[in-house]
Amino acid sequence: MAKKAHRRERREQSLSRDRIIAASIQLLDRRGERGLTFRALSERLATGSGAIYWHVANKNDLLTAACDALVVRTMNQTVVTTPKATIRAVALGLFDVIDEHPWVGSALTSALGLSPIVRILERIGQQIRALGVADDEQWAAVGTLMAYILGVSRQNAANRQLARARDLDRSDFLEEVSNAWSKLDPKEYPFVRSVVAQIRDHDDRVDFLAGIDLILMGIDSPRRRRRPRR
């Protein structure tokens, strides 16, 4: 008599950091942020939960690594042309990854000085330099763009997740939001009520790029008080 009636078939590939990260991305995509679990992961990888800790420090490390993998992929996909076009491409690339993988948005906050953020800073920074922005203003410019890109992308992703959680598609969701906003007290919320119409049929990606252009315009326009003649 065999010791175990039906032993689990052993995984064919041996465990590795990369395989763990790939499985994590799948889990996060398919089941959301709360779907990434050491139990779910070890089941999917046909291993013990403790084995994962041999390749990965902890859950946070795992999340950052998954994030970084996607950021690297995105950066490699954007072609470098003129500075402004490149900035737009990087921005849109990040917007789209976060739209597709909403968990990237929240994970990306975690640590300045950590690789995914640094990669993005570098990419944008090089373009800001190419634009001829003064040395001592480069940091502010890059920081502003960075904050904007992550800020909008994250908010967009949050909305999508909210919609998905309630089984609504994009337009149903916007419908619901604009309905809720229409019911606000017009005395207390005149502005929000006045943009209800705009909310309903706006295009997130277009708005996003409009904001980028707004910031690029600010970067380009003369600092200080008076405008130098051209």
Partner DNA sequence: ACCTGAACACCGTTCAAGT
Q: Which residues bind DNA (CB under 7 A)?
A: 10, 14-15, 36-40, 46-51, 53-55, 58-60
- Phi–psi pair at 38, nearest 5 degrees: -65, -30
**What tokens does 109 get?**
């906050």
Closest separation in Å from C-beta 61 to its own copies: 14
Measure the CA–CA gap between 95 and 153, rounded to whole angstroms: 5
Burial of 84 by CB count in 10 Å (0-12 exposed, 13-18 middle, 19+ buried)?
Answer: middle
Report the SS3 class of residue 195.
Answer: coil
Rounded distance, CA 216 to CA 199, Å? Answer: 24
**Six-digit token string for 18:** 């990369």
Whether the CB-CB separation of 75 and 123 falls below 8 Å is answered with yes
Binding region for its own copies (CB under 8 A) out of 24-32, 40-48, 64-72, 172-180: 172-180
186 touches its own copies by CB under 8 A: no
Stretch that binds its own copies, among 13-21, 35-43, 81-89, 207-215 (CB under 8 A): 207-215
Nearer to DNA among residue 25 and residue 174 (C-beta): 25
**Residue 158 near its own copies by CB under 8 A:** yes
- Decide whether 80 or 184 has the Cβ nearer to its own copies: 184
Tokens of 38: 């050491």
Q: Which amino acid is at 209?
A: L
Site string for its own copies, 80-119 (x = CB under 8 A): -------------------------xx--xxxxx----x-
CA distance 42 to 161: 26
Picked from its own copies, DNA, none, the partner binding residue 106 (CB below 5 to 8 A depending on kind) is: its own copies
Nearest distance from residue 111's CB to its own copies, in Å? 6
Residue 217 near its own copies by CB under 8 A: yes
- CB-based contacts of 181, cutoff 8 Å, min separation 6: 189, 192, 193, 196, 199
Output the smallest distance, CB 103 to its own copies, in A. Answer: 12
Angle (CA) 188 189 195, round 5°: 165
Residues near its own copies (CB under 8 A) are: 105-106, 109-113, 118, 121-122, 125-126, 128-129, 135-136, 138-144, 146-152, 154-155, 158-159, 162, 176-177, 180-181, 184, 188-192, 194-195, 198-199, 202, 207, 210-211, 213-219, 221
